[in-house]
Chains A and B, each alone.
Chain A
Amino acid sequence: MEKIKNTFLEHKTPLMFVLPAVIFFTLFKIFPILNLFWLSIHQVDKDIGDFIGFKNYLKLIHDQVFWLSLKNTTIIVILVVFFGTIFGYLAALLLTEDFKGQKLFRILIFIPVVTTVSIIAVVWKMMYYPANSGMLNSLLAYFNIPAQQWLADPKLALYALTVPLIWRIIGYNMMIFIAALKGVDKNQLEAAQVEGANWWQKLIYIIIPATKYAINMVLILAVLRTYKVFVPAYVMTSGDPQHKTETIATWIYKQSFRYWDMSYGAALAVVLFLIIMVLTIFQKKFQSE
Chain B
Amino acid sequence: MLKKLNLITILILIVFLGSGNILAATTIEIWHRGDMAYNEAYQEIGERFSKKYPELKVNFVLYPKLEDKLITAGMSDSLPDAWILDNVTTGKWVSKGFVSKVDRSEFSDQIMNVAWQTALANDGNYYAIPWSVQGMAMYYRKDWFKNLDLQFPKTWDQLEEAAEQLTYNDPDQDGKNNTYGIALYGASTRGYGYWTLQNFLWQAGGSLVKKTASGKYKANLDTEATKKALKFLHDLVYQDKVVPPGVSAAQSTEVYSSFQNGLVGMVFHANYKNSAYVTSLGRANVGSAIMPAGPAGSFSLGEGENIYINSDSKKYEAVIKLAKFMTSTDIQKFGMQITPSNPVRLSVRKDIDITKVTNNLLDKPFQAAFLNNKVKYPEGIPDYYPVKIIAAELMQEVFLSQSKPDYEKLISKYNEQINQELSKQGILAQ
Residues of A within 8 A of B (CB): 44-48, 129-133, 147, 149, 151-152, 154, 157, 237-242, 256-260, 262
Closest to B393 in A: A242
Cβ B246 vs Cβ A242 within 8 A? no
Kindly state the separation between the CA atoms of A13 and B70 in the bound complex, as whole angstroms.
45
Query: In the assembled complex, how far is the CB of residue B191 from the closest CB belonging to chain A, in whole angstroms?
Result: 9
Instruction: List the 4 closest A-B pairs by CB distance, nearest first.
Output: A130-B246, A152-B249, A238-B189, A130-B245
Determine if B67 is an interface residue (Cβ-Cβ < 8 Å): yes
Query: In the assembled complex, how far is the CB of residue A32 from the closest CB belonging to chain B, in whole angstroms?
Result: 13
Query: In the assembled complex, how far is the CB of residue A42 from the closest CB belonging to chain B, in whole angstroms?
Result: 11
Which of B91-99, B225-233, B295-303 lies on the face that meets chain A?
B91-99
Residues in chain B near residue A240, CB distance under 8 A? 187-189, 248-249, 396
Q: Which of B69-109 contact A (CB under 8 A)?
A: 71, 74-75, 92, 96-98
Partner of A241, one of B71, B244, B249, B386: B249
Kindly state the separation between the CA atoms of A174 and B175 in the bound complex, as whole angstroms.
49
Residues in chain B near residue A256, CB distance under 8 A? 71
Partner of A257, one of B67, B188, B245: B67
Query: In the assembled complex, how far is the CB of residue A192 from the closest CB belonging to chain B, in whole angstroms?
Result: 53
Cβ A152 vs Cβ B385 within 8 A? no
Partner of A260, one of B97, B249, B383, B397: B383
Cβ A133 vs Cβ B386 within 8 A? no
Kindly state the separation between the CA atoms of A242 and B386 in the bound complex, as whole angstroms.
15
Cβ B400 vs Cβ A242 within 8 A? yes
Best-surrounded residue of A152, A157, A239, A257 (most CB of chain B within 10 A): A152
Interface of B, helix, strand, loop or mixed by DSSP? helix
Cβ A237 vs Cβ B249 within 8 A? yes
Closest to B67 in A: A257
Kindly state the separation between the CA atoms of A262 and B70 in the bound complex, as whole angstroms.
13
Closest to A241 in B: B248
Kindly state the separation between the CA atoms of A44 and B76 in the bound complex, as whole angstroms.
11
Query: In the assembled complex, how far is the CB of residue A157 from the closest CB belonging to chain B, in whole angstroms?
Result: 8
Determine if B247 is an interface residue (Cβ-Cβ < 8 Å): yes
Query: In the assembled complex, how far is the CB of residue B71 from the closest CB belonging to chain A, in whole angstroms?
Result: 6
Best-surrounded residue of B246, B393, B400 (most CB of chain A within 10 A): B246
Residues in chain A near residue B189, CB distance under 8 A? 237-240
Query: In the assembled complex, how far is the CB of residue A91 from the closest CB belonging to chain B, in whole angstroms?
Result: 32
Cβ B396 vs Cβ A241 within 8 A? yes
Query: In the assembled complex, how far is the CB of residue B256 from the closest CB belonging to chain A, in whole angstroms?
Result: 14
Known pairs A151-B246, A242-B188; list 13 more (Cβ under 8 Å): A44-B75, A130-B245, A131-B246, A151-B249, A240-B187, A240-B188, A241-B248, A241-B396, A242-B397, A257-B71, A259-B386, A260-B96, A260-B383
Q: Given A240-B249, A242-B397: A260 and B190 within 8 A (CB)?
A: no
Residues in chain A near residue B74, CB distance under 8 A? 46
Determine if B68 is an interface residue (Cβ-Cβ < 8 Å): yes
Partner of A45, one of B97, B247, B389: B97
Determine if B263 is an interface residue (Cβ-Cβ < 8 Å): yes
Query: In the assembled complex, how far is the CB of residue A150 from the closest CB belonging to chain B, in whole angstroms?
Result: 8
Determine if B178 is an interface residue (Cβ-Cβ < 8 Å): yes
Residues in chain B near residue A157, CB distance under 8 A? 249
Cβ A262 vs Cβ B397 within 8 A? no
Residues in chain B near residue A149, CB distance under 8 A? 245-246, 248-249
Q: Given A242-B396, A242-B397, A260-B92: A130 and B249 within 8 A (CB)?
A: yes
Interface of A, helix, strand, loop or mixed by DSSP? loop
Cβ A152 vs Cβ B246 within 8 A? yes
Closest to B250 in A: A152
Q: Which of B31-63 contact A (CB under 8 A)?
A: none
Query: In the assembled complex, how far is the CB of residue A239 from the closest CB belonging to chain B, in whole angstroms?
Result: 7
Residues in chain A near residue B98, CB distance under 8 A? 46
Residues in chain A near residue B188, CB distance under 8 A? 239-242
B298-310 interface bits toward A, Cβ cutoff 8 Å, 1 = contact, 0 = none: 0000000000000
Query: In the assembled complex, how far is the CB of residue A280 from the closest CB belonging to chain B, in whole angstroms?
Result: 29
Cβ A262 vs Cβ B71 within 8 A? yes
Kindly state the separation between the CA atoms of A257 and B72 in the bound complex, as whole angstroms.
9
Query: In the assembled complex, how far is the CB of residue B305 from the closest CB belonging to chain A, in whole angstroms?
Result: 19
Kindly state the separation between the CA atoms of A262 and B92 in the bound complex, as whole angstroms.
14
Kindly state the separation between the CA atoms of A199 and B413 in the bound complex, as whole angstroms.
60
Closest to B192 in A: A240
Closest to A150 in B: B246
Kindly state the separation between the CA atoms of A238 and B253 in the bound complex, as whole angstroms.
14
Residues in chain A near residue B244, CB distance under 8 A? 130-131
Best-surrounded residue of B67, B187, B385 (most CB of chain A within 10 A): B187
Cβ B249 vs Cβ A133 within 8 A? no
Residues in chain B near residue A258, CB distance under 8 A? 190, 385, 389
Residues in chain A near residue B190, CB distance under 8 A? 238, 258
Best-surrounded residue of A44, A48, A241 (most CB of chain B within 10 A): A241
Cβ B400 vs Cβ A46 within 8 A? no
Kindly state the separation between the CA atoms of A133 and B68 in the bound complex, as whole angstroms.
36
- A-B contact list, 15 entries, CB within 8 Å: A44-B75, A46-B75, A46-B96, A130-B246, A130-B249, A131-B263, A149-B249, A152-B186, A237-B189, A237-B249, A240-B188, A241-B249, A242-B393, A258-B190, A258-B385
Query: In the assembled complex, how far is the CB of residue A8 from the closest CB belonging to chain B, in whole angstroms?
Result: 37
